[in-house]
Chain A
């Protein structure tokens, strides 16, 4: 595998970067993060109409751009750079992935075009009270009443669950884990936006009591959901690369211009060497995320590459974000400075979908270490 980005890939990157720099400035991020929905409707619609970003992975016959994981990773990396606020990971990655891997044709035909056009925002609800991104621990039950399915129980830490129009829920049916679609306004559904550590990414708790649902997966959904997790983890890793790169840039820019003891702090090796280490780690993280994206694009299950990427990218992003605060001194500790926004995103994304040691454990199992 040679990570060969094509000319089209580079163009996509430039287009997304320009768009994100305009639409997701620090001021915009700060405004949105204080709102409950946490995203801007107009920007979201433009992402669909002007850039076809919302349906990047949606096949053309369902109204999408018909592209793959490599293009998606490029978009995620660029969003990670600017801490883009919006339900992209939930809708364009997880829900789209769940529909593509685990849903029947009818559900795909119904939901994918709406996701791609931005008319509908979707998310996937797997985790429950324990907060574990672990399919074996899903306890929610689905019961069949006549021709209808009903869900009861709690889903927690659901990405953008408070605003999604369509919820794709993992629950246990008689024949094992299955996927269900629940409308946002379904009866017996209560949604609570959660106060998150990372204000730039929203989560919700969803209470279901005999909530009507449509079963969208034909058989057992565990295999499909594993594919979705590999995709989600890979895209999150790509987002982390973008964030880490931005932290490195901020640190370097500051180290060139901040003078103490009569010289730029970047001329002190204590600072210079921190930056050099961040550079090495960011380059490694890039290799990890790209490798995982290319592996999935090449038709592999991608588990090994995804575990590797999530483990490494989480740790290197967090390290870069933490060093970025340190290099900015007292300034880096303030609310006004963006360093804490990256620090919180890094911390939260490190836990999301399983922490680094969990992914190392999975990797070790695959490698039979």
Chain B
């Protein structure tokens, strides 16, 4: 993909032209986001005609800045369809058919179609390539049987990115294919799974004789791993790289507000000194996370991110947990009280509006940061092996047929 040159001023002009035509304070969210797409301002690093302008993703910040000058309405809420926008779109762009690119991308960005990722299974999490869900070809259709787990937003999704085994006799990486699954297909059953917050963001998905038309394959048969890598590389930047772009925003902002509004005498002078240093340390790391993310985006060319995305994903996960732990300490005894009965909600998007006990909720939710999208241990392996070039571990599962590999239930 050729890198295009466009000046910051041109980009700002384009934003202003868009606002003349459709201002977010006047039109609804879908319309406004659709216009962003048409103007190439949705994801600037995408090619023209597909919601972008083919420039470095670092330029997205210019757009956000210009928009924020003229509109107070929230226009850039990735949370509307985090998996679709962050992972589905780049996968469709890179490996999808013409039909997929033309019909899916715009609706992903507007949020009209919510997407989910059907990778993890009870028997394969970190080791996605070991998965067991079977897809067999029957004429113009594939028939799928198996079970997926931890599938975020499956209960509201239109489309699922499904990784399934098409050849159990091949070594594990070579025997998978990647499908676009219509979540409304017969045989797809979605059951809520409640997490430690009481909520059910994610689900179990049972697939029983589900039929997928043959032209819904992404990439070629047997090349599912290659397509999955595109999704996973983008998942790292989507999860870890979306972080706050404003100084002091996000979780660190909440912590600092809590600290500044503490009651006089709540902590002894000694405790104040210790907490203050701890908070300053967290502030420093939060700032550096923000800057490192920015530096990464500015250096990136158009196209898919590389393994360096794991730097930010790993750092973000570990830092966020520590920030919320500290926030609980600042809350003191109040942190002992939680909303009655841990309401068993089933959120319909990742936007966190309307949730009570926000800090306490976030403290619990943050435990997932170092698990979802690849665990911190897996991120360290990736950094060690793919970025630093350290040797892999000796492996017993590499060149043998998948069906001979020992598996847990």
Tell me the A residues contacting B by CB distance below 8 Å: 1-4, 248, 252, 255-256, 263-264, 266-267, 269, 271-273, 275-277, 279-280, 283-284, 286-288, 290-291, 308, 311-312, 357, 360-361, 363-364, 367-369
Contact = CB atoms under 8 A, between A and B. Distances in A.
A275 B260 contact: no
Interface of B: 58, 61, 256, 259-260, 276-277, 279-281, 283-285, 287-289, 291-292, 294-295, 298, 311, 314-315, 377, 379-381, 383-385, 387-394
A283 B393 contact: no
Nearest to A311: B284
Contacts of B379: 276
Contact of B388 (A263, A276, A360, A361): A276
Given A2-B294, A252-B390, A276 B384 contact: yes
A50 to B, nearest CB: 30
Contact of A360 (B280, B315, B377): B280
Given A267-B393, A364-B277, 8 more contacts: A263-B391, A272-B390, A276-B380, A277-B380, A279-B388, A311-B281, A312-B284, A360-B280
Given A2-B294, A3-B294, A276-B379, A267 B394 contact: yes
Contacts of A266: 384, 390-391
Among all A-B residue pairs, the 7 with the closest Cβ atoms = A272-B384, A266-B390, A276-B383, A276-B380, A287-B291, A284-B288, A273-B380
Contacts of A364: 276-277, 279-280
B288 A288 contact: yes
Nearest to B283: A367
A272 B256 CA distance: 34
B377 A267 contact: no
14 contacts: A3-B291, A252-B388, A264-B390, A267-B390, A272-B390, A273-B377, A273-B380, A284-B289, A291-B291, A308-B284, A308-B287, A363-B280, A364-B276, A367-B280
A276 B291 contact: no
Contacts of B388: 248, 252, 275-276, 279
Given A275-B390, A276-B384, A2 B298 contact: yes
Given A252-B389, A255-B390, A267-B393, A272 B294 contact: no
Contacts of A269: 377, 380-381, 384, 393
Contact of A312 (B58, B288, B385): B288
B64 to A, nearest CB: 13
Contacts of A368: 260
Contacts of B291: 3, 287-288, 291
B277 A275 contact: no
A312 B284 CA distance: 7
A269 to B, nearest CB: 7
A284 B282 CA distance: 13
User: Which label, helix, strand, loop or mixed, suits the secondary structure of the A interface?
Assistant: helix
Contacts of B383: 275-276, 279-280
Contacts of B385: 272
Given A269-B380, A280-B314, A284-B289, A263 B394 contact: yes
A286 B380 CA distance: 19
Contacts of A308: 284, 287-288
B10 to A, nearest CB: 17
B387 A279 contact: yes
Contacts of A361: 277, 280
Contacts of B295: 2-3, 286-287, 290
Nearest to B293: A287
B391 A264 contact: yes
A368 B248 CA distance: 13
A269 B394 CA distance: 12
A34 B392 CA distance: 42
Contacts of A283: 292, 311
Nearest to B58: A2
Contacts of B314: 276, 280
A291 B284 CA distance: 12
A269 B260 CA distance: 41
